[in-house]
Structure 1
Amino acid sequence: MSAPLMFIPVAVVLIASLSATPAASARVAPGLEPVKTTGFDAIAIPLVSFNSDQGFGYGAVGGMYLYAPGKKPYAHAISAQFFFSNRGVQNHSLKYDGPRLLGPLRVEGRLDYRREIRSPFFGAGNQSAPDFRGDVNNELYNFEKGTPGFWLRLRGHPFGDEHPLQSYVGYGWRHMRVEAYERSMLSMEKPLGMDGGNMGQLLAGFLWDTRDSESEPQRGGVEEFSLRVSGNATGNRYHYVGLTLSERRYFALSPRLTLAHRMTLDMLFGDVPFYEWSNTGGVNVSEGIGGMNSVRGIERNRFAGNIKAFMNTELRYQAARFQVLGQQLKVGAVAFVDLGRVWHPGVSDGKWWHWHPGVGGGLRFSRRAAVVRTDYAVSTGSGRQRFYVTFGHMF
């Protein structure tokens, strides 16, 4: 029997903040901060980690939030990540978010480079690789890839800032380099996309957003419909269409306790390359099924296919607020249940009730819009474990 899989990071969290004092005429309810704030928050996490998917790793992730009067939840946000591991993983990115950069339009963009000597491939479908026993380093379930890329998106409120409808358009591009190991499942199955190549996509979507807060929602929700189109005209050698439907809901059970729930359905149609099977569309792109953005506790991209569905339920508790150098910090705890499955043409996906669950809990450290998330999760199907450290709520 294989040992449980663990991801055990050692992280030092550094939070710096500078805020202007509100005007004396501004009246703020006790315990609340004014909507119109200035200054900035910065968070940096040096990482020394062991991950049975990626080996011993080192690097850093950091984010900065700049605030300005009348701009919610911030005026500018910039985040960067640099990560290397002794097993050939590189994941570097630079991301920008300007909620009102071009008048009423929100400008979002990301530039990144990823390289993985052991990128997971378990085949297609909800019952893929039945003989897998947890050794994610086995070349049978891996291939090598390198993918520089970027995306740019414009988002706005066509009927005014107070109206819940948002729309967006964008473009994403990536160059996929694929090298299959001789005795891997990828070499044996030879799915579409073995030759890699350029991936260009046009992106569009609509959101109906009734949340009371974007960064720390307690009430309301977000419904989203998104479309991504790929073909020769977009700079993609493959022709396919992706549709994503997502629902996020938040219920304030008490001033400190929030129930949060998300449902996502992603469907791909056409000549879909295998490296798209695990991706979803939308404003918040996810991978799966399996990993810190879909079903925690299950190996990353353990189950993949043309149709993916997953659900996440979190009970979020704000445990404490305290002052550090005159700035308010919050500590919270989360208990969660995740559930997901896939469907893929031409393979057996099992009974309709055959879903893959993960359960666990975690801690949250936050300063205004800046949130550090740590989660520990267990797959109830295999008993294997995962630990994650990242920025922002899962949804």
Structure 2
Amino acid sequence: MRVPVPVPGLAALALLAGGAAHAAEPEPDQPGLFERDPADVSPDAPDHAALDPGHHDPNKHELLFVPIPIGVANSDEGLGGGVVLALQHYHGGVVPLRDDLSLRLYLTSKLVQRHELRWEGIQVLDLPLRMWARLGFFSTVSQTFCGYGNGVTCDEAQARARALDAGLDEDEARFDDFVRRYYQMRYVRPHADTVMRWRLRDKPHRVELLTGWRLGWYLPGTLLEPGPWPGSLYAGLYPNGEPGVSSVPQLGVTVDNRDFEPAPSSGYFFEASVRGAHPWVGSSWAWAGTNLSLHGYDELVPSPHTVYAGRLLVDLAAGDMPTEEIAEIGGTKDYGAFGGQWIGRGVRDRRYLGKLRVVHQSELRTDVASFDVLGIHLDTGLVAFTDVAWIGYDWDNLSGALPGQPWRAGSPLGLVFGAGVGLRILVNRAIVARAEVAASPYEQRSPSFYTPVGNSL
């Protein structure tokens, strides 16, 4: 068993990447910018799989240890960094790899922590099965909570009034702390997750059966101090927080006909799934939800290569749900919505919460230049985007308004949106890194900036 040496320039790539990504098989040829051989039907791979561009003997078991420093900068989580320690297994000609075992450690200036041990396998047991599983720990003291529905205001004047009502003096440091934390919640969440994707047919129109389970233990407060921030809006609604276990199985199907997963020029990706929780499966809450998502891609101009990318997302749920489950969508990626660097750019993270969500995202992507740096191939481009949503709190109360809740304004049937521009960098034809700035007319602290890795759609 041979252990190869990591490729040169890995540290430089990691500094550029700064987070999680979805990679695909690197290209041996040199097709056009952001293009891929349509005959390539290999599935996407773990985050850092394409960092090794070498070739591997299919008859041997080869291991590659890949240490990756990461850096993060965005308006919601602050500045931060960490490390990914990955052990990759190559065998049997499976591309881009057979197995990936990684340890990830991550901390930001706003005290957001994400740590996890993750395994991902492709063609598990030589079956058309791809799966991943992880054990993780998440902690935050600065998660946005402005209430429910699409009329929340996050009004600082309201927070200042509550601080004065609490007897705090505006000249005190405690006054500023109270105001900053009024629209925030803090909690700890150890979790375990798994997803399995069984390929029923390959491209064109690849079909996969999706099954998954996510298990989380919600602990309000911090490890040293339980409970919500004293005096916060969240504490007013939930004095003890929402402690409990969330156990959520999921079942669905995906249909994929994208020509090149990291940066599609044509094709579509569709997914439909149902999910739910009940004490019978170990959950403290009982609810059910469904998710429908359609991504479409179309080349508008061949030179400069310009592509329209769009997604329509419908995510509906009903029942007794904790706030954090209301915030997460279903499907292959459990992003929060609406607000933040994935769904709702320009709006603070998870500002608009509701069990009923209809979202449309649009992007115009234009290629700019292609070049090599330290042996790493970079394709650069510009993007302009809009994220638009309608959020309803619940089926019988779209606005979520209750008597005595002054933190709400606007029509429960209104739309919320953000828009922005950014730079896209495709690294080694596998990993998409982005730097974006976005704004929203509803957001007092606009503009927001993001440096995620991976596509929003």
TM range (shorter): 0.7 to 0.9
| 1:83 is the counterpart of 2:106 | yes
Cα distance in 2, alignment partners of residues 284 and 83 from structure 1: 19
Q: Residue 277 of structure 1 aligns to a residue in which SS?
A: helix
Contact 1:108 1:153 in 2 (8 A): yes
Which is strand-richer, 1 or 2?
1
Q: Which residue matches 1:378?
A: 439
| Cα shift at 1:203 | 1.1
| Cα shift at 1:240 | 0.5
Deviates more, 1:269-278 or 1:51-60: 51-60
Q: Which residue matches 1:186?
A: 234
**Aligned pairs (5 A) from 1:1-395:** 12-13=15-16, 40=52, 44=68, 46-47=70-71, 49=73, 53-55=76-78, 57-60=80-83, 71=94, 75-76=98-99, 81-102=104-125, 103-129=127-153, 131-132=155-156, 138-160=180-202, 162-178=204-220, 179-190=227-238, 194-255=241-302, 256-324=305-373, 328-345=377-394, 346=397, 347-348=400-401, 350=411, 352-382=413-443, 384-395=446-457
Cα distance in 1, alignment partners of residues 83 and 261 from structure 2: 25
Cα–Cα, structure 1 residues 160 and 296, in superposed 2: closer, same or farther, change >3 Å? closer
| Cα shift at 1:344 | 1.2
Deviates more, 1:79-88 or 1:137-146: 79-88
> Percent identity between the aligned chains?
26
> Structure 1, residues 51-103: CA drift from partner, whole Å, max 9, x if none?
65445534346889888886456655666643223443212234444332332
The structure whose Rg is larger is 2
Contact 2:50 2:96 in 1 (8 A): no
Contact 1:56 1:86 in 2 (8 A): yes
Contact 2:184 2:232 in 1 (8 A): yes
Cα distance in 2, alignment partners of residues 153 and 21 from structure 1: 27
| Cα shift at 1:337 | 1.2
Q: Runs of 5+ in structure 2 lacking a partner?
A: 1-13, 19-24, 43-48, 54-65, 160-175, 221-226, 402-409
> Structure 1, residues 214-259: CA drift from partner, whole Å, max 9, x if none?
2221111011111112111222111111111111000012342211
Cα–Cα, structure 1 residues 200 and 48, in superposed 2: closer, same or farther, change >3 Å? closer
Query: Number of matched residues?
Result: 375
Which is helix-richer, 1 or 2?
2
Cα distance in 2, alignment partners of residues 20 and 236 from structure 1: 41
The amino acid across from 1:143 in the alignment is: M
RMSD (Å), alpha carbons: 3.5
The amino acid across from 2:335 in the alignment is: S
Deviates more, 1:241-250 or 1:303-312: 303-312
Cα distance in 1, alignment partners of residues 273 and 352 from structure 2: 22
TM-score normalised according to structure 2 size: 0.72
Q: Which residue matches 1:4?
A: none
| Cα shift at 1:357 | 2.6
Cα distance in 1, alignment partners of residues 183 and 235 from structure 2: 10
Cα–Cα, structure 1 residues 205 and 48, in superposed 2: closer, same or farther, change >3 Å? closer
Cα–Cα, structure 1 residues 68 and 386, in superposed 2: closer, same or farther, change >3 Å? farther
Cα distance in 2, alignment partners of residues 95 and 379 from structure 1: 35
Contact 1:242 1:269 in 2 (8 A): yes
Contact 2:80 2:106 in 1 (8 A): yes
Contact 2:339 2:352 in 1 (8 A): yes
Cα distance in 1, alignment partners of residues 68 and 94 from structure 2: 24
Contact 1:122 1:141 in 2 (8 A): yes
Deviates more, 1:102-111 or 1:197-206: 102-111
Cα distance in 2, alignment partners of residues 48 and 38 from structure 1: 20
TM-score normalised according to structure 1 size: 0.82
Cα distance in 2, alignment partners of residues 62 and 380 from structure 1: 41
Cα distance in 2, alignment partners of residues 108 and 240 from structure 1: 25
| Cα shift at 1:126 | 0.9
Cα distance in 1, alignment partners of residues 310 and 244 from structure 2: 37
Cα–Cα, structure 1 residues 170 and 221, in superposed 2: closer, same or farther, change >3 Å? same
Cα distance in 2, alignment partners of residues 54 and 38 from structure 1: 27
Cα–Cα, structure 1 residues 48 and 276, in superposed 2: closer, same or farther, change >3 Å? closer
Contact 1:375 1:389 in 2 (8 A): yes
Q: Residue 305 of structure 1 aligns to a residue in which SS?
A: coil
Deviates more, 1:197-206 or 1:352-361: 352-361
Q: Which residue matches 2:61?
A: none
Cα distance in 1, alignment partners of residues 124 and 380 from structure 2: 31
